[in-house]
Amino acid sequence: MSKPMPVTVLTEDEKAFKDAVREFAEGEIKPKREKMDHEAQMDPALVKNLFEMGLMGIEIPEEFGGVGSTFTTACLAVEELGRIDGSVSVLVDVQNTLVSNAMLRWTTDEQKKKYLPKLASEWVGAYALSESSSGSDAFALKLKAEDKGDHFLLNGHKLWITNAGEANLFLVFANINPELGYKGITAFIVEKETAGFSIGKKEDKLGIRASSTCELIFENCEIPKENVLGEIGKGYKVAIETLNEGRIGIGAQMVGIAQGAYDSTLEYIKSREQFGKSISQFQGVQFQLAEMRTEVEAARLMVYNAARLKDAGLPFLKEAAMAKLYSSRACEKVCSIGVDLYGGNGFTKEYPIEKYYRDAKIGQIYEGTSNMQLQTIAKMELSE
């Protein structure tokens, strides 16, 4: 078991990677950000660029066409992309910290050979757990999987599935026996072109608008037995353990959005003049700027700490919950202060701060609401 690095330290390779992602985000994503947000549509050419940069297969081993790097490196990418656009950030986050993560841990050798090269080079992945009746109560699943001998038939719906509009591969959780409760839940690998499977309504969202969030429809969708992910009836384990790690990725996204809001605000207050001088010279503005910077750094350290623990093979569940809880709250606070400091301009679409503010809110909702994180933290504290 390796010893985790101090959370404040990045290796030279990590620094170089982070800088490269930042340069890519500034050059390729920023010019498209406003248009993608307005049209609520991810630019397909940009998705292709993400694959070419190696950002869609960060932890996938080199033998399967991936980068073969660490979970922390994936979080660094998610952070830097979030600094420019939360929509692109979450696309990369779901691909790496949920889909690829689950595929690396739970697939058979045959499944790895079949799917990992595609996920590293061209296929976007989506993680399909939520339903209309199962949000925080993630295991109240109604999507039914009926055993037909050599295959399963899936019938039902999924809601709020991130990346659904771009995805070629879906990790789908269904119940083979509702009487067994969570012990009946099984995970399946579903390809987009599977008969009986279709993409339904696309949500019109407040924030991260270019990120597709859609309904999935299963109508006698036939899934071969070899597409079961992990063991039959053990899907709950796949879901829980993958989400525990994915929450760190969402924390990284929130840190990135908060950093972007801070950078934008800092630049604005230096250029904005009132009463004959830059508003950055007023102590009241300086205090708010200091609050923003402190919140960003505190959130970053919590996220890096959780990521380092995960990479080191050490317990990280509580730290992941705390990082996700704190970073999502800090992000909303930082973005709100930013809007305030922009004044009337902050309430218009002429400046980027209003988008950062809209994008921030989702952090307290998806991959486990803030209340669920509080519950996890409290349970772990009381059990120690």
Establish whether 367 is a catalytic residue.
yes
Structure tokens given for 266: 């800092």
- From residue 16, give the alpha-carbon distance in Å to each of 5, 73, 97: 17, 11, 21
| Alpha helices per DSSP H over 12-138 | 12-24, 30-39, 44-52, 71-84, 86-93, 101-106, 109-121
Pairing of strands 169-175, 125-128: parallel
d(CA 83, CA 319): 23
Token pair 């525990």 is found at 244
Structural Rg of the chain based on CA atoms? 21
Token pair 């996700």 is found at 324
| Alpha helices per DSSP H over the chain | 12-24, 30-39, 44-52, 71-84, 86-93, 101-106, 109-121, 235-271, 283-311, 317-342, 353-360, 370-383
User: 157 φ, ψ to 5°?
Assistant: -135, 155
* Residue 126, H or E segment: strand 125-128
d(CA 337, CA 262): 9
Token pair 């330290």 is found at 9
Q: Which residues sit opposite 273 in a β-bridge? A: 278
Q: At 56, is the secondary structure helix, strand, or coil?
A: coil
Structure tokens given for 80: 């830097």
d(CA 327, CA 303): 8
Distance of CA 207 to the CA centre of its chain: 14
Structure tokens given for 82: 């979030």
Q: At 134, is the secondary structure helix, strand, or coil?
A: strand
Candidates 319, 367, 381, 384; catalytic one: 367
Instruction: Catalogue the active-site residues.
Output: 367
